[in-house]
Structure 1
Amino acid sequence: MAKNINYVIQSYYENLKGTYKDIADYLLDNSSFNSGLTINDLAKDAGVSISSISRFAKMLGFKNFQDFKLSLLTSDETDQGLFQDIKSTDSYMEMTHKIFNANISTLNATQQILTESQLRQATDIINNSNSVAFFGLGASSVVAQDGFHKFLRSDKKPYYTTDYHMQLMLATKMTAEDCAIVISHSGENKDTLAIVNELRKNNVKIIGITSYGNSTLTSLVNVALLSISEETNYQNEALHAIIAQISLVDTLFMITAIKDEAQTSTVFKEIRNTINMTRKSKTNKKTETL
């Protein structure tokens, strides 16, 4: 399970209501629990029913309360204020320091909620597919295009287009032999969800990448990978999320490439040789200088 349950809760928090939000608030405000904690104790302290605690744990992906409790006991305390606001009075180096630290914090927090099971399931889907298509609109298109660029170096047939209608058409033509990686920060973009519904009609396996654990997107995909981000005065959380989401796609690419090294290495060499043809050699440069 995830290394830091607090980050997992934060990824669900935006859409929580009622009792679930009460439980989340209690857990985020109380980071220290003893090993003798029972479900009755937690329900009493949080002011909710035992069944609510059980349902909350299952919503977060835990099989039972014991697994949930173990994560509570072993999670590192969440850093307060992961992202420092940049002020107009900051020096250039102070601004740079805060920007770099924010990006590093995004990556660290995202890495802490990843699990072996999620990565195994996602990479198995890719390895067992004939092709992989990337879908993302707006800021998410940056991540989708980067994924397409990376997977051109694999033995899979990658697909991507920037236009929404063309993405919808592509989704309509895919089959159960293909897979899709769908990126949406909110997981609620209606156009992105329309694409997902087309993919589901064709039984395409879908890997979702989003910042919200209980979004509509996560309920529709085969496996969801979450990115952690936080809004600041000068950058919205979606911009921070892009960095983590690109790293998630990079992780999927590297794992699948390493697991299928025999096939991928050949493609790597062919791509490298082709790209090298576009570069001037040092010998040519010296000749031109003379």
Structure 2
Amino acid sequence: MSNPGIPAAGERVAGRRQTGRPLPVPGRNVLELILVRLPDLRKSDRRVAEHVLSDPQAALAATVAETARHAGVSEPTVMRFCAALGFEGFQDFKIRLAQSVALGLPATQSVIDRDDTPQALADKVFDYTMTSLDWARSRLDHEAVAKAIDILSAASRIEFFGFGASGIVAADAQQKFPLFGIPCGAQTDSHQQFIAATMMGEGDVAVAISNTGQTGVLLEIMQAARQAGGTVIGISGRREPAMEQLAHHLLVIETLENTDIYTPTISRLAALVLIDVLSVGVAMRRDAAHQQKIVEMKRLLTDMRSRPHPRNR
């Protein structure tokens, strides 16, 4: 008996060829595609990927044999690399690579090398970060963002939930509570988070943050908040079914996350930016009196910072 939602053998699935290979996403930059798939490639295929990322122009001009020689692999490995990305062959791959190079993305998106100088390292991290944030911005669903701002603007209380790097995002969101204009919480202990979720009610909003959308404890907290009567907003790096089912409203902030040991956590930065968008969006919905309070708060904060410390008098 087949499972519901799982295609039978030989059935064509949207986004895949009958061979089972994933189709390259239409319009997606090949260099970005390689970065996303890099952690999942075989070791030898990764050598081809890293060679292409390090010098896309040279890879574009090379033959299969030259690519294999420069990457230190066999010619069949180059062909397997192309197939792993979903291309029909090397020529199909090069056509898409040419389109990507034409977009002018920086070649410094290449993987970080342990021999990189501090300057090269800084250039790569900054270029990779800015490119990934631009990628996230271009794919953000603006209607979904507007809906989330509507929900948050009408909330009587907001609780932010997250673990690890997502916990940092939750804490940052809670720190922006003056912009939201209502009580905001971000418990750090999992038990306290669960308690806060179960105590939610009508008018309260739970914002659950998880880049993978698969964190088990967070999913339990989302379910608890929902059962208690709260409205649940999910923020994730991808559209994960479990999180999508538990959230009343889901925001996807897709990045070029690469789990290589030297790669910065872009997903956290993108989520922080999204929180800024939401908090400012809500603040703009508040009345003039609330906005004046924010202006006055910032003035007083500036005065406090500029006052000499008692020890320095």
Offset from partner CA, 1:53-85 (integer Å, 9 cap, x none): xxxxxxxxxxxxxxxxxxxxxxx9696989431
The reply on whether 1:231 has 2:228 as its aligned counterpart is no
Q: Aligned AA for 1:231?
A: N
Structure 1 pair 106–219 and aligned structure 2 pair: CA distance change class (3 A): farther
- Secondary structure at the counterpart of residue 25 of structure 2: helix
Structure 2: stretches of 5+ with no match in the other structure: 1-10, 30-98
**Deviation at 1:146?**
0.4
Range that drifts further, 184-193 or 104-113: 104-113
What is the CA–CA distance in structure 2 between the aligned matches of 1:222 and 1:174, rounded to whole Å? 15
Max Rg structure: 2
Conserved 8 A contact 1:185-1:210? yes
Higher relative CO (Cα under 8 Å, sequence separation at least 6) belongs to 1
Identical aligned pairs, as a percentage?
22
Q: How many residues align?
A: 227
Range that drifts further, 246-255 or 256-265: 256-265
Give 1:117's match in structure 2, choosing from 127, 136, 143: 143
Give the equivalent residue in structure 2 for 1:175.
201
Structure 1 pair 22–166 and aligned structure 2 pair: CA distance change class (3 A): same
- TM-score by structure 2 length? 0.64
Give the equivalent residue in structure 2 for 1:70.
none
Range that drifts further, 246-255 or 214-223: 214-223
Structure 1 pair 250–234 and aligned structure 2 pair: CA distance change class (3 A): same
Structure 1 pair 31–248 and aligned structure 2 pair: CA distance change class (3 A): closer
**Deviation at 1:140?**
0.7
Give the equivalent residue in structure 2 for 1:92.
118
Structure 1: stretches of 5+ with no match in the other structure: 1-16, 33-75
What is the CA–CA distance in structure 2 between the aligned matches of 1:150 and 1:205, rounded to whole Å? 20
Give the equivalent residue in structure 1 for 2:268.
242
**Deviation at 1:264?**
3.2
Offset from partner CA, 1:208-255 (integer Å, 9 cap, x none): 111121341122212222221321533467x21000000001100111
Give the equivalent residue in structure 1 for 2:59.
none
Give the equivalent residue in structure 2 for 1:209.
235
Give the equivalent residue in structure 2 for 1:155.
181
Give the equivalent residue in structure 2 for 1:28.
25
Structure 1 pair 288–193 and aligned structure 2 pair: CA distance change class (3 A): closer
Give the equivalent residue in structure 2 for 1:48.
none
- Secondary structure at the counterpart of residue 145 of structure 1: helix
- Secondary structure at the counterpart of residue 235 of structure 2: strand
**Deviation at 1:102?**
1.5
Structure 1 pair 151–98 and aligned structure 2 pair: CA distance change class (3 A): same
What is the CA–CA distance in structure 2 between the aligned matches of 1:223 and 1:82, rounded to whole Å? 36
Structure 1 pair 81–27 and aligned structure 2 pair: CA distance change class (3 A): farther
Q: Aligned AA for 2:13?
A: T
RMSD: 3.1
Conserved 8 A contact 2:213-2:238? yes
Give the equivalent residue in structure 1 for 2:13.
19
- Secondary structure at the counterpart of residue 22 of structure 1: coil
**Deviation at 1:260?**
1.6
Give 1:108's match in structure 2, choosing from 128, 134, 137: 134
